[in-house]
Amino acid sequence: MGKVVTVSKDDKGDYHTVQEAINVIPSGNKEKVTVFIFNGVYKEVVTISEDKDFVSLIGENVNKTKLTYDNYSGKEKPGGGTYGTSGSASVYIYGNDFTAENLTFENSFDEKSVDVKDEQAVAVYTKGERQVFKNTRFIGNQDTLYTKEGTQYFYKCYIEGDVDFIFGGSQAVFEKCDIMSLTRGSSTVNGYVTAPSTRITDEYGYLFIKSRLLSNAEEGTVYLGRPWHPGGDPHAIGSVVFRESYLGSHINKQGWTDMSGFSYRDARFYEYKNHGPGVAFNDSREQLTREEANQYTVQNVLNGWNPKEKVESEG
């Protein structure tokens, strides 16, 4: 495991906060450092900077070890201005070769607590290569998980939110994950699972494989995704594939929808061998052929990196 440091709310750990433990990792670190976090609620903004690679955050229990904060896009900053979406995250992960396991990441902002237009509130912001999340939970509402750039592998994770709650421009695989769309109380539109901003120069974006799309929203009120073009960027041509996954009845029969004047039909949105009441076959939901689907592997999507065997062998 390499070097191990511990974090606890009481005195049984080396440190009382997660950020204190991260701060002692030297800049330019090239050896694995495990930060073991005992059960508790740690309300703090955590940043793993780009000069700190090979960091692992391991929780004592996925349901009882929680990293949380409550910033949101429209919240005023002490020095003036607002946080914005990118500035609202509870946890920032820039380091390469990062691992998280047995943890809950949360943005606890309550949308009903204030009357504000910009309700985006990120739980985790990722921007690094070869980042693994195993048996972790991501809790939020709008914009829960922001995979800005890099490559990420999510295995047996739980991700919860409503509007665009998995979004960004990275190459990411979600395998055997539960994707929970929360109701917003609407009888027409309750949200969108994904909002990719994949660069046109990247062949792949998001791959969901053998996962479950679940919800407490009304039937047909949630879309699989919509194309996000940050700042109107015409070169952000989103890529998402759902394959061999369960789609609940909350999924709209059209599947995909437009965003900010950009058509979903111009994005790279595909499905393959999904099942469940949310499945539909029409000209809005393009299905891959077997030959095409064979190209959407973990290794291909993640630019030649394949963490699958190692993660599965560890249970």
| Nearest-angstrom CA–CA distance, 144 and 156 | 17
pLDDT per position as a tens digit, 134-164: 999 999 999 999 999 999 999 999 999 999 9
**Stretch (H or E) spanning 191:** strand 191-196
Q: What per-residue string of b and e applies to 25-46 under the rule 16 or more CB within 10 Å gives b?
A: beeebeeebbbbbbebebeebb
How far is Cα 36 from Cα 102, in angstroms, rounded to an integer? 10
pLDDT score recorded for residue 2: 78
Locate the domains of the chain by residue range: 38-313
Q: How far apart are CA 169 and CA 239, in angstroms?
A: 9
Average pLDDT over residues 19-41: 96
Supply the pLDDT for residue 116. Answer: 87
Position 310 scores a pLDDT of 78
What SS3 class is residue 225? strand
Pairwise CA distance, residues 299 & 160, whole Å: 26
Question: Which residues have CB under 8 Å from 80's CB, separation 6+?
Answer: none
pLDDT over 90, % of the chain? 94
- Residues 180-188 have a mean pLDDT of 97
Say how far residue 287 (Cα) sits from the centre of its chain. Answer: 24
Tallying the residues shown for the chain, one arrives at 315
Active-site entry in 10, 143, 164, 178: 164
More confident residue, 1 or 49: 49
pLDDT average, residue stretch 62-87: 96
Q: How far apart are the first and last CA of the chain?
A: 16
- Residue 112's pLDDT band (cuts 50, 70, 90): confident
Q: How many CB atoms lie within 10 A of CB 263?
A: 12
Alpha helices, H only, 24-167:
none
The band of 1, judged by pLDDT with boundaries at 50, 70 and 90, is low
Question: What mean pLDDT comes out for the span 83-93?
Answer: 98
Residue 168 · residue 190 · CB < 8 Å: no
pLDDT digits (tens, 9 = 90+) for 255-277: 999 999 999 999 999 999 999 99
250: its two tokens = 């909350």
- CATH number for region 38-313: 2.160.20.10
- Alpha carbons 35 and 102: distance in angstroms, whole number: 12
Report DSSP state, residue 236: B
Cα–Cα nearest to 35, from 72, 63, 8 = 8
Average pLDDT rounded to a whole number, residues 276-281: 98
Distance, CA of 98 to CA of 129 (rounded, Å): 8
Say how far apart CA 121 and CA 45 lie, in whole Å.
13
164 is catalytic: yes
